[in-house]
Amino acid sequence: MNEIAVITGSSRGIGAETALLFAANGYDVCVNYVNDAAAAENLKAEILRLGVRCIAVKADVSTGSEVARLFNTVDAELGTLSVLVNNAAVLRTQARLTEISEERFNEILRTNVTSCFLACREAVLRMSTKNGGRGGSIVNVSSMAARTGSPNEYVDYAASKGAVDTMTRGLALEVAAEGIRVNGVRPGLIYTGMHASGGEAGRVDRLKARVPLQRGGQPREVAEAIFWLASDRAAFTTGSFIDVAGGL
């Protein structure tokens, strides 16, 4: 049987490239999405053509009952979980902190942080050798915003990714003796549709001159880092981060 990977928020961008890379390396894949069913089904069809199994599951991973249903569906339709990639996240229009509403701030935290917590909890319950599991790997997709703070643009988003970094480190130490590795990837300026959600679709091109490598990154380049951390090639790596940011 193939190993099984769950990738949250994987109907597009970094998540979709990650799902394709795992599939190309022989993993059965669960594509998770919350809105774009057409994109998820198209990705599922592309993965199935690679000769592995794939399911597409609609679930709002910021809600506990939806996360439980997602993982129960994987249990029933694919089998024993090997890898979790927490990729689901949202970004809102660029604004100074004083212009960010309480509702927006809480939405960002719920979608970006609570989702990571809930999915990690379900994964650990299944993977932990303490619970009779076979071990596994978790990779959390953070952001270089956790380091920069994203002043005048997305302080709320940056704060959420800082929380993801701290949770990644803490969980890694908590479950290291239970056969589970937990690591993170921090993308920098990557060409994805997320920038349009922030009100500036061309943001990467505007800022790429600041990148030491003088260009923006591609989703596949982030996916490669995620896959390495999840794979046995990184068997002695936990509680660590890879910055995929062109030198920033």
Catalytic residue, candidates 27, 33, 154, 157: 157
Please, what are the domains in the chain?
4-243 (3.40.50.720)
27 is catalytic: no
Distance CA 83, CA 169 (A): 17
pLDDT tens by residue, 151-203: 999 999 999 999 999 999 999 999 999 999 999 999 999 998 776 666 677 88
Please report, in angstroms and rounded to a whole number, the separation of the first and last CA atoms in the chain.
40
Q: Is the pLDDT of residue 25 over 90?
A: yes
| CA neighbours closer than 13 Å in the CB half-sphere of residue 209 | 1
Q: Give every CB contact of residue 6 below 8 A, 6+ residues apart in sequence.
A: 29, 30, 32, 70, 71, 74, 81, 83, 84, 85, 119, 123
pLDDT tens by residue, 43-89: 999 999 999 999 999 999 999 999 999 999 999 999 999 999 999 99
What's the pLDDT at 78? 98
Give the three-state DSSP class for 16: helix
What's the pLDDT at 198? 66
Range with the poorest average pLDDT among 5-9, 36-40, 136-140, 204-208: 204-208
Range with the poorest average pLDDT among 202-211, 213-222, 223-232: 202-211
Residue 207: closest CA among 215, 217, 219, 198: 215
**How many other C-beta atoms can be found within 10 angstroms of the C-beta atom of residue 24?**
13
